Amino acid sequence: MISYAKIKSTLIEKSRRILKVVEFGPKTAIEVAPFGEDGNPLKDMVAIYSKTTEAGERVILGYINKNQISQPGEKRIYSLTPEGAVSFSIHLKGDGTCEIGGDVDNMVRFQALDTALKAQDNLINAELAKIAIAIGSLGGSYVVAPVSTDISASKIEEVKSS
């Protein structure tokens, strides 16, 4: 039998999440989830609860989602504040884009930005050399201090892009 149950508390025991629920009275159940996903539900969320063929083994199959906005073919992963509001999300959109934390700003491609900045440095340095020659031809002196932009500290190695 599959039924609804209300989450009362959670704990990790032997690397498994155990949930205390109320489903026609207090019970405990093991949470099941797709491989590689680990999420801890908030108190009072509504869970889908089921007995198994193993005597005394009960499981939580999933939760009633109150924050659905994904369109057909999309996937969204999110976390909640203790009050139940969405605090952060990663949304894989059907149009081929991915929103990480929202859609207000853009990420950049490090290699393309680094190449463009180095090209700009070269143009600036060429102009500085022309300025030094012009000042020298008027009897003055100007020592060129080459411009070099280094953005290597901003590179995030753990996040890759196409």
Q: Are 99 and 126 within one domain?
A: no
Q: Are 9 and 57 within one domain?
A: yes
Q: Which residues of 110-129 are buried (b: 16+ CB within 10 A; e: fewer)?
A: beeebeeeeeeeeeeeeebe
Q: Quick one: pLDDT band at residue 162, thresholds 50, 70, 90?
A: low
Q: Beta partners for 51?
A: 58
Provide the 3-class DSSP secondary structure of residue 60. strand
Q: Are 138 and 149 within one domain?
A: yes
CA distance readout (Å), 123 to 6, 30, 58, 141 = 65, 63, 68, 21
Q: Render pLDDT for 69-92 as a digit per residue (tens, 0 to 9).
A: 888 889 999 999 999 899 999 999
Are 59 and 32 in contact by the 8 Å Cβ rule? The answer is yes
Q: Are 89 and 115 within one domain?
A: no
Q: Are 52 and 70 within one domain?
A: no
Share of the chain above pLDDT 70, in %: 99
Domain that residue 128 falls in:
110-154
Place of tokens 């203790």: 82
Q: Render pLDDT for 137-160 as a digit per residue (tens, 0 to 9).
A: 999 999 999 999 999 999 888 777
Are 60 and 19 in contact by the 8 Å Cβ rule? The answer is yes
Kindly give the residue spans of alpha helices, DSSP state H, lying in 21-146: 110-137
Q: Quick one: pLDDT band at residue 34, thresholds 50, 70, 90?
A: confident
Distance CA 14, CA 66 (A): 30
pLDDT of residue 53: 81
CA angle 58, 28, 37 (to 5 degrees): 70
**Residue 160 falls inside a structural domain:** no
